[in-house]
Amino acid sequence: MTNSTLPLPPRNAPTWSSRLTFILAATGSAVGLGNIWKFPYITGENGGGAFVLVYLLCILLAGIPVMIAEVLLGKQGRSSPVFAVQRLALEAGRSRHWRWLGALGVVAGVLILSYYSVIAGWALAYLPKMLAGDFVGIAGDGSSAIFKSHLARPAVLLGWHSLFMVMTMAVVIAGVTRGLGRAVEFLMPVLFVLLLILLGFAIAEGEFMQAVRYLFSFDNAAALTGKSVLIALGHAFFTLSIGMGAIMAYGSYMPPAAPVARTVWVVAVMDTCVALVAGLAIFPIVFASPDLDPASGPGLLFVSLPVAFGGMPAGVLFGTLFFALVSVAAWTSSISLIEPAVAWLVDSGRARRWQAGVILGVLCWAIGVGSVLSFNDWQDWHLLGGFNWFELSDFLTANLMLPLGGILMAIFVGHLYSTQAVRKALDIEGWLYRLWHFVLRWVSPVLVAVVLVYGLIGVFT
Ligand code: PHE
């Protein structure tokens, strides 16, 4: 071994018992706060329909093609992201510095989890509130007041953030492939059914047609700026869990015969449906309550849905169940956020799995304290670009690091890795393969780069 080649860990054995478990684990990662909490509120902040259209285009032209590439990298590399990319780069005769692509993802995962856990903590906190009937018969202003007083108590937020972090690390330490598939298999369908119940309520009681118009027409297209387009693009990566190695790490446990492209397609379609249904359930309620504002930001889910639960029969039950499921959806995503970092520490021999879990848990928790305070004491403390700590953690990761990771993955798989190996490993042929390959090589990286540059100019000028 020379200095230029670091020792590579042994290859991961396939561990997902079937294609279905991989689909479920990947869906568990993809479907989370991004779909239910983030998508509705950023749609509201960016004017609705035009934003949704740009987001859907980003999913099609960059999200799905890059997701296929990322799963492929994991499946072929058979290691944690840092080493998977390094191994494939060396095999393809490229620089070992490609491992920095994996490292970028490790950092992004830590940063995302730091604030993701804070928001997941809100969902946990809403469980006892729902159960106690705090929202029964409440209107928009009452619900906003409850949310505001929740945010005003940093110690309470910190407690829930800590609990969520412990929950995440407990599963991570036990090993991701054990038990996770089972849980997701059962809980994801229940979450979906609950969203459909909410949708039914929104259709019956809310301003449903106004919401449809808001989400799918261009009435507010003027609200779409360069920054909005960047947010839509960043969210396409965020919601699919791509650009930072989460889905690559999961791909590395895939059985060799499992079909990558078809699986990715299924996951991406499910993920998009959950986001759209969440939007269609939330906005009718927002529009039916004169004191709720679609552009009210990160609290949107937490102020609007309790109004719906407060007004429906058995709302206490459904409301509690809903926030329980949102917490679980966040949980299955948070595990995948930290898996690349944990696997890297373990594979490189720097720590055992439990040690890696503890170290990273403490690190994410500590960075997350800044996000807890961003909603109260540090609210007006603006850092770079006028963002507070929470906003900056979100912006740097979702809108900068994930798209950057995505460009690099597209370039690596599209231009530098052996075309034959890619072709052999994929389950698509003929024109479909050629279409994917063309889009991955030329459309996705160029599109992402252009949006990134314009968006950043828009934000910092
Ligand atoms: N996709 C998850 C969500 O929508 C978040 C996530 C991002 C998970 C990146 C893993 C990696 O909530």
Query: What is the SS3 assignment for 444-455?
Result: HHHHHHHHHHHH
Tell me how far apart the alpha carbons of residues 230 and 164 are, in angstroms, rounded to a whole number.
29
Q: 181 alpha carbon to ligand 1 midpoint, in Å? A: 17
At 179 the pLDDT is: 58
DSSP state of 257: T
Containing 84, the helix (H) or strand (E) segment is helix 81-91
Q: How far is the CA of 211 from the centre of ligand 1 (A)?
A: 25
pLDDT for residue 12: 79
Q: Which residues of the chain have pLDDT under 50?
A: 1-4
Ligand 1, closest atom to CA 33? 12
pTM: 0.95
Whole-number Å distance, alpha carbon 34 to ligand 1 midpoint, is 6
Which amino acid, 124? L
Whole-number pLDDT of residue 6: 55
Domains of the chain: 10-460 (1.20.1740.10)
Which pair of tokens denotes residue 84? 């998977």
Q: Going by CA atoms, what residue is nearest to atom 9 of ligand 1?
A: 241
Nearest to 273 by CA among 157, 188, 382: 188
Give the pLDDT score at 95: 93
Ligand 1 atom nearest to 32, measured from its CA: 12
| Atom 6 of ligand 1, nearest CA residue | 241
Nearest atom in ligand 1 to the alpha carbon of residue 240 is: 1
Alpha carbon nearest to ligand 1 atom 11, residue: 241
User: pLDDT digits over 45-62, tens only?
Assistant: 999 999 999 999 999 999
The answer for residues whose C-beta is within 8 angstroms of residue 288's C-beta and 6 or more apart is 205, 206, 207
Can you tell me the distance from the alpha carbon of 268 to that of 281, in angstroms, rounded to the nearest whole number?
Answer: 20
- Minimum-distance ligand 1 atom for the alpha carbon of 37: 12
Dist. CA 252–CA 425, nearest whole Å: 13
**Ligand 1 surroundings by CB, under 6 angstroms:** 29-30, 32-35, 112, 238-239, 241, 244, 246, 333, 336-337
Whose C-alpha lies nearest to ligand 1, atom 7? 241
